[in-house]
Amino acid sequence: MGRGPVMCVSIVFFVTVWYVVTTMTEAARGVSPKLINVALSFGASDFQRFRYVILPALHPFVLIAARIGLIHALRAMITAEMFISAGFGGLLNNAGLDLSTAPLFALIVILMTLSVAATGLLRFVADRSAPWYASRTKA
């Protein structure tokens, strides 16, 4: 893979895909059997059950998986960039090696702000696109 963008992309993919797949698998297992039985009793085909029952039940979990995947992708991207000393990870690595705390803390605060903003944006999208689920999760 070398030490370029292909390595970074492959590291981000392999780190992130397992979190998303695990989240979606558990969400699919959590679909109520009663909903599937109702669709069966109305004579729904396999595709109709998937399209009209399982996908709407999975919709909130797709957005949760996107949030989880985003955070792990950011973490993997920074780690991968530290290996090749490029991008944001390279800046963090160089600031850490120079023992200069001010740039290091500034970079960490920027990364934290970016992560919180991206997670907040995905939460906003989830709340707007699945209001029935958002009302159940609010404390």
Q: What is the CA radius of gyration of the chain?
A: 20
Residues near 2 by Cβ (< 8 Å), separated by ≥ 6? Answer: none
Each residue's pLDDT tens digit, 10-19: 888 888 888 8
Count of residues for the chain?
A: 139
Nearest to residue 76, comparing CAs of 6, 11, 2, 126?
A: 11
Angstrom distance (rounded) from CA 5 to CA 41: 51
Calculate mean pLDDT across residues 79-98: 74
Domain spans of the chain?
Answer: 5-137
With cut-offs at 50, 70 and 90, classify the pLDDT of residue 138.
Answer: low
Q: Provide the pLDDT for residue 25.
A: 85
**pTM assigned to the model:** 0.67
Q: Provide the pLDDT for residue 2.
A: 65
Question: What three-state secondary structure class fits 128?
Answer: helix
